[in-house]
Structure 1
Amino acid sequence: MTFSETLAFLAALIAPEPDSRHFAPLLDGGPVAETPITITPCRRPLAPTEIERQTVICGTVTVPEDHDAADGTNSVELSFAILRSHSTYPAEDPVAYLHGGPGMGNLHSGLAGLARIFDKFRTNRDVVIFDQRAAGISSSSVACQDALTANVVDIALDRASLAEQDEDADFAPTTLLTGCLAELAENGTDISRYNTRQNALDVPVVMQALGYESWNLYGISYGTKLTLEVLRTAPEGTRSAVIDGVAPPIVKLYDTLALPFSEATQRLVDDCAADAACAAAYPDLGRVISEVIALASEGKLTFDGETLPPATPLTFIAARNENPLKGSLTPYLPAMFYELHRGGERPTLELVIGDWKMAPPLPTAETLQAQASAALTEPQMEALSQALKNAQVSDMAGEAFGLAVTELREKLRRDRELGPLPSLLDAELSAALPDTIATPEAAAAAAKDYAALKIGDPTRERLMAFIEKNFDGPHLGRLLRIVEAMTESEISAVYSDLREAVERRTLDFQQSVDLLLYACQEDIPYNNLQGYDAVTAALPFDFSAMTDSAAAEIFASCSAFKPVERTNFHAVVESDIPVLSIGSGWDVQTAASWAESATEGLSNARSVFIAEAGHGAILYQPCVGDMTAAFINDPGRELDDSCERASAVPAFYIAPWVGKEDKETGSP
């Protein structure tokens, strides 16, 4: 931003009321009376340049629990956010992002990351994000509140599980899971309504409630399965769709847990074989990888004198998928596998694991200067050096500005939305804890009582009862006086804050339950443990050490559920809506080949392969944002291979020992 733009932004940020004209219909309850909108504060962090109710707005949309029952009494609140277009005259059809999981929402962790990922669409479109039913902060209708409260300490400390092993090492559902399901049934929640079809029927209801008549979908992971289901079940209003990291319904996702790992490994072997230098340096890469995996599974693989766990070499393949903002591991993987296999000196492993912690750095100013030195004159190099220094200063200034704005925004929020007394109560409670709750048992009891406040009416009396039960001495009177002095709006703000605090501690567990609601009712018995064993045994690379436990746990957990048969759910999706399907070379969650498989019944679809990207290519390669934005702007245009070329596999690293005879161990 220019200085004048910065001043204008800060003036808007500190204004008593934001300029909310763009969102006026939503602030009035939304344009569709049958689908009411409630505006709520957006979760933090926001991107530094966002202003709530001016550039972003958040809230909830109420949808039927069962779209097939016109007179149904149960409803579901779905949390949403709209990232307003940067344009004064945006296109009327926004981009709606359908997140992965299932059950894994996005809004709880704030909008800053989502704003960065989807910024290129905001050039001329709004971006709509919502946590789906039984996902993230839209999970309240399937949250077993009593079970969560009773087990809040174990859940917060990551000691709670959904499946456990008996004395024979067989997995079975835990009493926590079965108790949770029993509580939901007792409360009248029909969990069979929490499925991909009902989820797909939510999409047009949400979009129309927000005032849109047509839209474009961008699905990642489970969001691609949901996108395809929208095309099959509720296509009206959908103009185009992008599916990225594709999980088509025809694929048995749990039978094939290990397949994406093996496919990504085979692709690495093939890429090395196609590169003359890599093929010469590591001529037997496929065999070496297989033997390293076998040695690890037998407990015969060591590093620095210690035996490595069986899954260690498999994490090399998985690690590429875990660091979208870091450099590529691909060039180093052949050398790493060879060094594990051959023994002796291991400079590549020491560099990548020791120095880089499996996350190679992105190119630096120094590497750019070194690359340019041969082609530039001395004056040109001086100009480049100065430009890089200026860029670093600008980057540091931008980071400092972002931190300052974040601090200012939080201070304004606490003063405006909470007021001084809720902030004071929070500080006083924190100060009182060490003096009055001295044992682990007392701390656990207080934590359960605190979590229980989330359930029921947000009254002053309940808050005071909590304080009287858990605090004493000089702190007690002061805490009670603060609560007595609060207004009703301040009491409400305290409960809002504590609900978010409890949610942060329990959300990961709740999302695990949410995932099972979908997987166990839709994908079982279409998937089963016998199918998983058969698929895994037939793969060219054995990733069972990475996936066996996960498979056993999910199939055991699913025995607590009743599968719900859905006609044609696992059939090929047929549609003529324009679709761009993207597969990624590093993806170990959804195989790259599934992007092409998903287009089988799509008459107006094309698939693209991005070599140097993981699960959700847009997270890894900037050109994917350019490509998909261009597609949505004009779904009929021809897309060239610019992005595929820009994200091609880089030159492989040739270790310093290559070509030297290892007299101690010989060559692999």
Structure 2
Amino acid sequence: MTPDQIIAAIASLLIQDANPDFDQLRSGGHDNRYPVTISACEYPPGPLEVEGQTVICGSVSVPENYEAPKGRRVDLQFVVFDAQTLSPAPDPLVYLHGGPAGGTLQITEAVAGRMFPKHRQTRDIITFDQRASKLSFGSVECSASIADNALDLAKSESVNPDDPTIVYRLLSDCVEEIEGSGADLSAYNTENNARDVRALMSALGYGDYNIYGISYGTRLALEVMRTIPDGVRSVVIDGVAGPTNPIFDEFLTPYVAVIDRLVAQCAADPGCAAEWPDLRATFNAAMERIGNDPIPAARGAQQIGAQELYTLTFLERNKWRVKHDITRFLPRMFSELAEGRTDTIDAVLAHYDDVPRPADALLRSADLTNDERALADATLKMAAAMEDLSEGARNTLLQLRGDLAAGLETLSVAEAFDQRMSEAVTHLPDPSAAAPALLADYTLMRAAPPSRDALATLVSDHFDGADKADLLALVALMSDEDIARTWDIAAESLRPYQLMVATTLGTAIYQCQEAVPFNSIEGFDRVTAPFAERYPVFGMPDFRAQIEGTLAPCALFEQHPREGFHELVRSDIPTLVLNGTLDTQTSMHWGAEAAEGLTNARNYIIPEAGHGTIMYQPCARDIATAFVNDPAAPLEVSCIDDILPPFVLPDDPLPGQ
């Protein structure tokens, strides 16, 4: 963040004039079939964003069932980032999130700032939480079920799929409660999500538009192309999970593809091939050795066993790629671990939080004079200081933005009541025994309209003595605004648990109604058998148990198969297909399968990129931006060939050396 940017950001925070581009949205939107309601953004959209000026949030009301447009409605929460130009392209970019039910509004700052900053230079960026996802879960909310399980939820940071008791209890209760509310769970599917995309674009006033989908978002993008392609100008699918891929049967396919790719890269590199002529055998030997005899932490670093190596190589690999190119270390790392040595993995682990900037290599150059080296070192230190100042400025702007939005209000009676009730809970004779009933009533209270009587009843039912008297006195002092604020506080307190349950429930709704019986544990066994022969680590029972746990809740749902859903999508819409060589969630080869039905598609595999290549490689970001700007033009993709790093051989220095 430069000084000019900081000044501009502060100035924009203090300007109260609304962006006229958003006027029609404030008046209900552009399509009366899908009314728009503008509201404050639930999550900060970024330190340089100003609600109502550079960004606007709200909801659009769409039919639960498009065949019954006058029936039950679903509210979809969205955000629109205004293009950073006075002459924007008329066709925006809409980002379709993964999951399913993963949501995106919690990460809007990343969407605008990390994923699509170049796209935003020419066009608006739009994203939304799909039906039954995160902030759009209202139509499938299960308040009573959350109340019944409030204590278990409060004790956990997530709804743990490895604990079938709470998962089954929650999902079973939620499904029953939702169906009892009149909701039609069969309407929560990818086809209706596709119709939602077109409805949202119409409500926001756009004709033609572009799509960028990642993970499940690629499946949704393909369904838009098949079901309701009107207005779609171009599509980018990144980290492809097409409808023809039984992703649970093929759960280990992406992992195997990553190792196969590494083996092939090593074989094609003269130095690597000479040192490790059979890298597959080396990998298997490393996994077997540390699986049977983990290297202890006594050497001053963490234990290295099969789980730690698996986590580093696969589960956390995408995260590590943000820091540095781990691929180049892997052959040497596997070779050493097969012999019981940890030089390379220890060096990489120690280096994780102290990654040299690319410019640091300049300081190690033999071509620099002492004066040049000193000047370069001073420049780098100044750059680091500016980064620290930028982060501080960012945090200050966020605080200022929050203070302005809150109106700098002092503590209200509602806040005082909330604090006093928290204190009163600690005075209960047996807080752990009383907590479930209190949490349940507190949760259910929020589902009813705000009222003084409801608050007084909550206090009288659960507290005695001075605590009860103090709380009732605060209730008596409350204005109508205080009472409403108390309900807001309750909602804020319960929101994390609601979103936790919404993610688990929403994911199960889609997986169980669309992936079964297309996927099965028998299918997983069939696909995995040859993988386990090549790489015995993939024969571990933990993998099978994970799939069993994923599919088990599907017994709670009725199946609603849709004819043709799992068939190849055929379209001539200009499409860019991107895949990452480090992607362990969707195979780098699945993009080519999806492209078989797309007559106007270009497919690229991006080295050293994880799930969603645009978040890992500037090369992918540049290619995607150029494609959306002109979907018919030739693409300059030579940057792909420049990404691959050289392998670190036994005599090469390790990080920190």
Using the size of structure 2 for normalisation, the TM-score is 0.91
Structure 1 counterpart of 2:90, one-letter code: E
- Aligned match of 1:557: 553
The 8 Å contact of residues 290 and 338 in structure 2, kept in 1 or not, is answered as no
Cα deviation code 1:152-200 (max 9, x no counterpart): 221233385567679xxxxx98243222222222222111111100111
Shift in alpha-carbon separation, 1:596–1:117, aligned structure 2, 3 A? same
Task: Tell me if 1:508 matches 2:504.
Answer: no
Local SS of the residue matching 1:453? helix
Aligned counterpart for 2:346 among listed residues 350, 372, 382: 350
Correspondences of 1:180-579 after superposition (within 5 Å): 180-295=174-289, 299-304=292-297, 310-318=306-314, 319-323=316-320, 325-343=322-340, 345-353=341-349, 355-356=350-351, 359=352, 361-364=354-357, 367-371=360-364, 373-415=365-407, 420-435=412-427, 439-472=431-464, 474=466, 476-539=468-531, 540-541=534-535, 542-545=537-540, 547-579=543-575
Q: Shift of the alpha carbon at 1:300?
A: 4.4
Task: Tell me if 1:92 matches 2:90.
Answer: yes
User: Distance in 2 between the 1:103 and 1:295 partners?
Assistant: 39
Structure 2 counterpart of 1:13, one-letter code: L
Structure 2 counterpart of 1:209, one-letter code: A
- Aligned match of 1:618: 614
User: Distance in 1 between the 2:414 and 2:117 partners?
Assistant: 35
Consecutive unaligned residues of structure 1, counting only runs of 5 or more, are 167-171, 659-668
Q: Shift of the alpha carbon at 1:428?
A: 4.4
Q: Shift of the alpha carbon at 1:574?
A: 0.7
Cα deviation code 1:578-608 (max 9, x no counterpart): 1000010000000001111111111111011
Shift in alpha-carbon separation, 1:286–1:324, aligned structure 2, 3 A? closer
The 8 Å contact of residues 363 and 373 in structure 2, kept in 1 or not, is answered as no
The 8 Å contact of residues 156 and 506 in structure 1, kept in 2 or not, is answered as no
Count of paired positions: 644
Q: Shift of the alpha carbon at 1:290?
A: 2.1
User: Distance in 2 between the 1:54 and 1:425 partners?
Assistant: 36
The 8 Å contact of residues 36 and 209 in structure 1, kept in 2 or not, is answered as yes
Local SS of the residue matching 1:93? coil
Cα deviation code 1:29-87 (max 9, x no counterpart): 2122221111222123331111111111111111101112244x211111111111111
Q: Shift of the alpha carbon at 1:454?
A: 3.2
The 8 Å contact of residues 146 and 498 in structure 2, kept in 1 or not, is answered as yes
Shift in alpha-carbon separation, 1:509–1:477, aligned structure 2, 3 A? same
Structure 2 counterpart of 1:268, one-letter code: L
Cα deviation code 1:478-524 (max 9, x no counterpart): 54455545544454344334323312134233212211111111111
Aligned counterpart for 2:591 among listed residues 591, 595, 599: 595
The 8 Å contact of residues 79 and 137 in structure 1, kept in 2 or not, is answered as yes
User: Distance in 2 between the 1:296 and 1:311 partners?
Assistant: 9
Q: Shift of the alpha carbon at 1:265?
A: 0.9
User: Distance in 2 between the 1:500 and 1:510 partners?
Assistant: 15
Structure 1 counterpart of 2:225, one-letter code: L
User: Distance in 1 between the 2:408 and 2:17 partners?
Assistant: 13
Structure 2 counterpart of 1:563, one-letter code: Q
User: Distance in 1 between the 2:416 and 2:618 partners?
Assistant: 44
Q: Shift of the alpha carbon at 1:430?
A: 4.6
Correspondences of 1:46-195 after superposition (within 5 Å): 46-71=45-70, 73-109=71-107, 111-112=109-110, 114-158=112-156, 174-195=168-189
Shift in alpha-carbon separation, 1:500–1:91, aligned structure 2, 3 A? farther
Identity fraction in percent: 35
- Aligned match of 1:9: 9
The 8 Å contact of residues 276 and 331 in structure 2, kept in 1 or not, is answered as yes
The 8 Å contact of residues 257 and 532 in structure 1, kept in 2 or not, is answered as yes
User: Distance in 2 between the 1:482 and 1:13 partners?
Assistant: 36
The 8 Å contact of residues 102 and 515 in structure 1, kept in 2 or not, is answered as yes
User: Distance in 2 between the 1:424 and 1:65 partners?
Assistant: 41
The 8 Å contact of residues 329 and 344 in structure 2, kept in 1 or not, is answered as yes
Local SS of the residue matching 1:441? helix
The 8 Å contact of residues 64 and 74 in structure 2, kept in 1 or not, is answered as yes
Cα deviation code 1:342-374 (max 9, x no counterpart): 11x321122233x24xx4754337733334x32
The 8 Å contact of residues 6 and 393 in structure 2, kept in 1 or not, is answered as no
User: Distance in 2 between the 1:314 and 1:2 partners?
Assistant: 41
Shift in alpha-carbon separation, 1:161–1:383, aligned structure 2, 3 A? closer
The 8 Å contact of residues 414 and 423 in structure 1, kept in 2 or not, is answered as no
Structure 1 counterpart of 2:126, one-letter code: V
User: Distance in 2 between the 1:590 and 1:284 partners?
Assistant: 26
User: Distance in 2 between the 1:502 and 1:324 partners?
Assistant: 35
More deviation, 485-494/622-631: 485-494
Task: Tell me if 1:639 matches 2:630.
Answer: no
User: Distance in 1 between the 2:185 and 2:593 partners?
Assistant: 30
Shift in alpha-carbon separation, 1:199–1:475, aligned structure 2, 3 A? same
User: Distance in 2 between the 1:309 and 1:365 partners?
Assistant: 31
Cα deviation code 1:637-663 (max 9, x no counterpart): 1112233134x22122224599xxxxx
Q: Shift of the alpha carbon at 1:391?
A: 1.5
Local SS of the residue matching 1:550? helix
Structure 1 counterpart of 2:98, one-letter code: G
Q: Shift of the alpha carbon at 1:296?
A: 5.7
Local SS of the residue matching 1:538? helix
Shift in alpha-carbon separation, 1:49–1:470, aligned structure 2, 3 A? farther
User: Distance in 2 between the 1:609 and 1:186 partners?
Assistant: 47
Local SS of the residue matching 1:78? strand
Local SS of the residue matching 1:232? helix
User: Distance in 2 between the 1:490 and 1:27 partners?
Assistant: 27
Consecutive unaligned residues of structure 2, counting only runs of 5 or more, are none
- Aligned match of 1:653: 648
User: Distance in 2 between the 1:157 and 1:657 partners?
Assistant: 48
Using the size of structure 1 for normalisation, the TM-score is 0.89
Q: Shift of the alpha carbon at 1:401?
A: 0.7
Shift in alpha-carbon separation, 1:26–1:267, aligned structure 2, 3 A? same
Shift in alpha-carbon separation, 1:571–1:366, aligned structure 2, 3 A? closer
Shift in alpha-carbon separation, 1:45–1:438, aligned structure 2, 3 A? farther
Shift in alpha-carbon separation, 1:106–1:494, aligned structure 2, 3 A? farther
Local SS of the residue matching 2:494? helix
Q: Which structure has greater helix proportion?
A: 2
The 8 Å contact of residues 89 and 122 in structure 2, kept in 1 or not, is answered as yes
Q: Shift of the alpha carbon at 1:229?
A: 0.2
RMSD: 2.8
The 8 Å contact of residues 227 and 243 in structure 1, kept in 2 or not, is answered as yes
More deviation, 323-332/252-261: 323-332
Structure 2 counterpart of 1:348, one-letter code: T
Local SS of the residue matching 1:454? helix
Structure 2 counterpart of 1:645, one-letter code: D
Structure 1 counterpart of 2:9, one-letter code: F
Structure 2 counterpart of 1:260, one-letter code: P
Q: Shift of the alpha carbon at 1:268?
A: 1.1
Local SS of the residue matching 1:458? coil
Shift in alpha-carbon separation, 1:212–1:165, aligned structure 2, 3 A? closer
User: Distance in 1 between the 2:28 and 2:592 partners?
Assistant: 42
The 8 Å contact of residues 292 and 337 in structure 1, kept in 2 or not, is answered as yes
